[in-house]
Amino acid sequence: MCGIWALFGSDECLSVQCLSAMKIAHRGPDAFRFENVNGFTNCCFGFHRLAVVDQLYGMQPIRVKKFPYLWLCYNGEIYNFKQLQKQFGFDFQTLVDGEVILHLYNRGGIEQTASMLDGVFAFILLDTANRKVFLARDTYGVRPLFKVLTDDGFLGVCSEAKGLINLKHSTSLCSKVEPFLPGHYEVLDLKPSGKVASVELVKFHSCKDEPLHVACDTVEALPSGFDLETVKNNIRILFENAVRKRLMAHRRIGCLLSGGLDSSLVAAILLKLMKEINTNYPLQTFAIGMENSPDLLAARKVAAHIGSEHHEVILNTEEGIQAIEEVIFSLETYDITTIRASIGMYLVSKYIRKKTDSVVIFSGEGSDELTQGYIYFHKAPSPEEAAEESERLLKELYLFDVLRADRTTAAHGLELRVPFLDHRFTSYYLSLPAELRIPKNGIEKYLLRLSFEDSNLLPKEILWRPKEAFSDGIASVKKSWFSILQDYIDQQVDDLLLEKAAEKYPFNPPKTKESYYYRQIFEKHYSGRSSWLPHYWMPRWVKATDPSARTLKHYKSATQE
Q: What is the DSSP letter of 29?
A: B
Residue 556, judged by CB atoms within 10 A of its CB (0-12, 13-18, 19+), counts as exposed
d(CA 144, CA 416): 12
In Å, how far are 11, 76, 464, 545 from 6, measured between CA atoms?
14, 16, 47, 41
Question: Nearest CA to 118 among 133, 134, 140?
Answer: 140
List the strands of the sheet with 252-256, edge to edge. 309-314, 284-289, 252-256, 358-362, 415-417
Pick out the residues of the known binding site for ATP: 256, 288, 363-364
Calculate the CA 194 to chain-centre distance.
32
Q: What is the 3-state secondary structure (H, E, C) of 495-520?
A: HHHHHCHHHHCCCCCCCCHHHHHHHH
Q: Give phi and psi for 304, each to the nearest 5.
A: -65, -35
H or E element: which one contains 147? strand 146-149
Length of the chain as a residue count: 561
Q: What is the DSSP letter of 60?
A: S
Pick out the residues of the known binding site: 97, 256, 288, 363-364
Q: Using CA of residue 42, residue 47, residue 53, residue 58, what is the dihedral sign?
A: positive
Q: What angle do CA 264, 208, 430 make, to 5 degrees?
A: 45
What positions carry a catalytic annotation? 2
SS3 of residue 425 by DSSP: helix
Q: At what angle do helices 423-431 and 383-395 cross, to 10 degrees?
A: 160
Residue 476, judged by CB atoms within 10 A of its CB (0-12, 13-18, 19+), counts as middle
392, 220, 80, 212 alpha-carbon torsion, rounded to 10°: -50
d(CA 316, CA 179): 34
341, 347, 353, 354 alpha-carbon torsion, rounded to 10°: -170
Give every CB contact of residue 167 below 8 A, 6+ residues apart in sequence: 7, 10, 12, 17, 20, 148, 156
Pick out the residues of the known binding site for L-glutamine: 97
Q: What angle do CA 441, 444, 449 make, to 5 degrees?
A: 90
SS3 of residue 293 by DSSP: coil
d(CA 17, CA 400): 30
d(CA 351, CA 381): 43
In Å, how far are 164, 186, 193, 244, 341 from 128, measured between CA atoms?
24, 16, 13, 37, 43
SS3 of residue 241 by DSSP: helix
d(CA 61, CA 83): 23
